[in-house]
Structure 1
């Protein structure tokens, strides 16, 4: 029986898995990052009830490492660019010899660079301001907070349990950054990455 590649794709519903690859290619998936490209003027949302998260960042964001009350901390990312829909692994680690005080694992922001500056991409559609969980705790030496963020709107919105968030506008190709702002005795620490459509 002769079967063409087109017949195989049609019969599989657009999903192809082969032994040569670790995953599957889903040809029925979305078009990719559909939001504004590059560095937009600002981030605007068509939903009138959308209220953007405002992370409590009051000082300059340190690039990848900082010192908190004499203790070194590091924020690392798997790479400096990632494709829409793929996962990006990040870790915030206590690299010192003493505990550091933090506001926990959810005290982070995912931002998009705009002409107006860095803006959080998440918010609430309830029409009211919401705040991320911020319970004070200690991070011991060599301990870390680890994130495996899927760079897709629904996955980012659902990453913090207990909050109904959304991403608006849709993600678009361009410069983004992840900032951990939950360090009590030190500056926020960030790492930039390019989202590829």
Structure 2
């Protein structure tokens, strides 16, 4: 088994972690300004000792930061002609392309936005400064993006950002920035912005009314996935009946101990799972954070039915709008459905501490995650595992329905199934 991965950046997680939101503002011009309008040590929405809203000083007139509410300031992101992550696979003018909103309550979550900035765009340095100066103990960042029909839609205007009882609300509109007889390029453009909202006990909800360049509007929250799991390649389970159901697995070696399941069956979600809780074998959660898919080699029939020696590819993808962390890539079970239930086909002989796994956080920006390629032979199943020198498959692989279950995601275990024909 080989186990390539798209990205395995270990994150040092700070005390603040969580969700994040949407934004507004100018398209690329030249950078400048201090990236904030908040003097150190003050809450821009309250008078010290009184707790009532007051006027904030306006951001510098020559800087890229604009005030968009009593407690909110925003900075525009460079408008791009290439579809951003949230718009990939969608048709311009469709409902999905009205826009996208997400929230960041930690610096780790917003990293993918910074990674997507084009260096030398005239705005990247100011945006990075804006993020660096955000105190996530007192504020949240919102990202909001929309789309326009040509290159003159290079600005996202954010306005009326306010704190309501149950949501941070506001409005954002993709605007035509053309002047006079200036021609507009024939390319779809994606303006976006970051908004910093400051205050105590900010509500968890987000409600932004976004209007795109076709004047389509929708009120968006921050729970939608950045990547639609339905667009991912592969399947969650076969559509046909299992080829067999073996009897309970028995290994003749007296000192053999079967690999345990490090999770409860009630916590298993198939295909997609939210960031905070499991959804057992039903529809995808309304706010999926990770998706898991299985598939055969490129060009195969995608039936998830494999013969001995074939390889099954498994892919875990962060579909949320923020960077999320998992455990290491080896925290998975490979099980077969027997007459006594799901049973791992692997085990070990000897040392009773043989099934220990290390604990570390592996960060995955949106669209990234882990990939596994497992050859369906006794040796191929354990190849590449850190315990490969001790793991073995016993008894030999038998025809049946198999399950790959990764327990390294927060909130539960995510799984896919496939059939082994023998």
User: Could you state the TM-score of these two structures normalised by the residue count of structure 2?
Assistant: 0.36
3-state secondary structure, aligned to 2:381: helix
Separation of aligned partners in 2, 1:41 and 1:86? 24
Separation of aligned partners in 2, 1:100 and 1:169? 37
Matches within 5 A, 1:9-158: 38-58=244-264, 59-69=266-276, 72-78=289-295, 79=302, 80-126=304-350, 128-137=352-361, 138-158=363-383
Q: Does the Cα contact within 8 Å between 1:122 and 1:167 map onto a contact in 2?
A: yes
Query: Higher Cα Rg: structure 1 or 2?
Result: 2
Separation of aligned partners in 1, 2:384 and 2:345? 13
Give the CA deviation at 1:104: 1.2
| 2:369 is aligned with 1:167 | no
Give the CA deviation at 1:83: 1.1
1:97-143: per-residue Cα shift (whole Å, max 9, x none)?
12223111111110010111101111112262522534221222211
Which deviates more from structure 2 when the two are superposed, residues 139-148 or residues 126-135? 126-135
Q: Does the Cα contact within 8 Å between 1:112 and 1:119 map onto a contact in 2?
A: yes
3-state secondary structure, aligned to 1:43: coil
What's the counterpart of residue 179 of structure 1? 405
Separation of aligned partners in 2, 1:38 and 1:91? 26
3-state secondary structure, aligned to 1:48: coil
Runs of 4+ displaced beyond 6 Å:
none
1:33-89: per-residue Cα shift (whole Å, max 9, x none)?
xxxx82123111001111111121123311111111365210011142111111111
C-alpha spacing 1:94/1:85, structure 2 compared with 1 (3 Å): same
C-alpha spacing 1:85/1:131, structure 2 compared with 1 (3 Å): same
Separation of aligned partners in 2, 1:88 and 1:109? 14
Give the CA deviation at 1:93: 0.7
Separation of aligned partners in 2, 1:44 and 1:182? 28
3-state secondary structure, aligned to 2:292: strand
Separation of aligned partners in 2, 1:63 and 1:71? 11
Query: RMSD of the alignment, in Å?
Result: 1.8
Separation of aligned partners in 1, 2:323 and 2:355? 25
Give the CA deviation at 1:158: 2.2
3-state secondary structure, aligned to 1:156: helix
Separation of aligned partners in 1, 2:379 and 2:291? 28
Greater RCO between the two (CA within 8 Å, min separation 6)?
1
C-alpha spacing 1:136/1:115, structure 2 compared with 1 (3 Å): same
User: Could you state the TM-score of these two structures normalised by the residue count of structure 1?
Assistant: 0.75
3-state secondary structure, aligned to 2:347: strand
